[in-house]
């Protein structure tokens, strides 16, 4: 039996589109910051008495759809690790589920970590990252703390994440503006596949990411938080332009998302350098240098409730609890 804790990550250069749906192989590399605020803890216990896996999420048994998804993931793990037993899996999310706060990233990273640890077999964190990817692409990066890069790779073996800097020695920080924590209408999975096949701009996205990855890694090496934010914001908007140009077109923005983005732009006009990013949901995350935290918080708190604003520092990679 083992318990693993993994934190969510927010991509600064986004992953949007798979070239292999089965293996979850992405079209591009991506790069993210793991956060310390939002996490999942998952306990896995292999049990020779069981005739099928058993899952609870937040102490509730899962529905049929989640059961099928999770037991399929367990089958992939069993095949990789050469195990035959079914398992009890209990997962607690400290993240609003499916609201673009990347709960699936922490969930599948924690599950993959707990499976390997409970298996009693030798493994590396690269093995964990590779397995986590099969549950949810972004989970491959949550295995590591701080800044991590997912290498798109060519097959199941070489598509995994590696750390760029696990412990940051500069002031990169984020505020998540919680605008709507209900389940999102269009999952990232169906949203991204729709844009890959129908957006006339998808091909351009591949070179956008290539350029942004290069520029982002240089900005990180230079510890240039403002440039990191600037590249992340432009990368996010270009990702969202794929949804607007898809057929049928759609958007993850709501009216409050636009309001939040405008507030960040106003702060910038007033000389406070801060930037935004968004994922497959309406919540906006603000990227800034920690020395500007108070002024940004004070300004956002005039528009949003203080309880909607969650400050998050860079977080750690997977940890195991006895």
Residues in touch with ligand PMV (CB under 6 A): 11, 14-15, 30, 102, 104, 136-138, 188-189, 279-280
3-state secondary structure 77-135: HHHHHCCCCEEEEEEEEECCCCCCCCHHHHHHHHHHHHHHHHHCCCCCHHHHHHHHHHH
- C-beta closer to ligand PMV: residue 119 or 194: 194
- C-beta closer to ligand PMV: residue 41 or 277: 277
Task: Supply the minimum distance, in Å, between the C-beta of residue 153 and ligand PMV.
Answer: 15
- C-beta closer to ligand PMV: residue 3 or 104: 104
- C-beta closer to ligand PMV: residue 225 or 280: 280
Task: Supply the minimum distance, in Å, between the C-beta of residue 108 and ligand PMV.
Answer: 8
Distance, in Å, from the CA atom of 23 to the CA atom of 132, rounded to the nearest integer, reads 11
Distance, in Å, from the CA atom of 93 to the CA atom of 78, rounded to the nearest integer, reads 24
Distance, in Å, from the CA atom of 293 to the CA atom of 318, rounded to the nearest integer, reads 27
- C-beta closer to ligand PMV: residue 35 or 280: 280
Task: Supply the minimum distance, in Å, between the C-beta of residue 121 and ligand PMV.
Answer: 26
Task: Supply the minimum distance, in Å, between the C-beta of residue 96 and ligand PMV.
Answer: 14
Distance, in Å, from the CA atom of 160 to the CA atom of 87, rounded to the nearest integer, reads 25
Which residues are registered as beta bridge partners of 162? 149
Task: Supply the minimum distance, in Å, between the C-beta of residue 303 and ligand PMV.
Answer: 24
- C-beta closer to ligand PMV: residue 80 or 133: 133
Which DSSP string do the residues of 160-226 spell out, in sequence order?
EEEEEESS-SS-EEEEEE-S--SPPSS-HHHHHHHHHHH-TTHHHHHHHHHHHHHHHHHHHHTT-HH
Which pair of tokens denotes residue 275? 């930037």
What distances in angstroms separate CA 32 from CA 88, 117, 187, one per listed residue?
31, 24, 19
- C-beta closer to ligand PMV: residue 168 or 209: 209
Q: How many CB atoms lie within 10 A of CB 234?
A: 15
CB 125 within 8 A of CB 118: no
Task: Supply the minimum distance, in Å, between the C-beta of residue 271 and ligand PMV.
Answer: 30
Task: Supply the minimum distance, in Å, between the C-beta of residue 118 and ligand PMV.
Answer: 24
């Amino acid at each position: 039996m083992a318990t693993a804790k993994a934190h969510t990550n927010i991509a600064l250069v986004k992953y949007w589109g798979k070239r292999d749906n089965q293996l979850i192989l992405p079209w591009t590399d991506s790069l993210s910051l793991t956060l310390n605020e939002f996490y999942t803890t998952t306990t896995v216990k292999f049990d020779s008495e069981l005739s099928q896996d058993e899952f609870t999420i937040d102490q509730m048994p899962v529905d049929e759809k989640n059961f099928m998804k999770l037991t399929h993931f367990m089958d992939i793990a069993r095949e990789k690790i050469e195990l035959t037993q079914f398992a009890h899996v209990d997962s607690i999310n400290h993240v609003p589920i499916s609201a673009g706060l990347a709960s699936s990233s922490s969930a599948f990273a924690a599950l993959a970590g707990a499976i390997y640890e409970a298996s009693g077999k030798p493994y590396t964190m690269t093995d964990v990252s590779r397995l986590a990817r099969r549950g949810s692409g972004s989970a491959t990066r949550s295995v590591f703390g701080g800044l991590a890069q997912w290498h798109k790779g060519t097959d199941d073996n070489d598509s995994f994440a590696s750390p760029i800097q696990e412990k940051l020695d500069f002031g990169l920080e984020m505020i998540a503006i919680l605008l709507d924590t209900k389940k999102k209408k269009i999952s990232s999975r169906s949203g991204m596949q729709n844009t890959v096949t129908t957006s006339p701009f998808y091909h351009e996205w591949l070179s956008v990411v290539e350029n942004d990855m290069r520029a982002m890694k240089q900005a990180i090496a230079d510890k240039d938080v403002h440039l990191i934010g600037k590249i992340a914001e432009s990368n996010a908007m270009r990702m969202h332009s794929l949804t607007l140009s898809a057929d049928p077109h759609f958007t993850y923005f709501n009216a409050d998302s636009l309001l939040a983005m405008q507030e960040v732009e106003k702060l910038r006009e007033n000389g406070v350098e801060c930037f935004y990013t968004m994922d497959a949901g309406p919540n906006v995350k603000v990227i800034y240098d920690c020395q500007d935290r108070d002024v940004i918080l004070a300004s956002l708190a005039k528009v949003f409730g203080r309880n909607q604003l969650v400050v998050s520092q860079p977080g750690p990679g997977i940890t195991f609890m006895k």
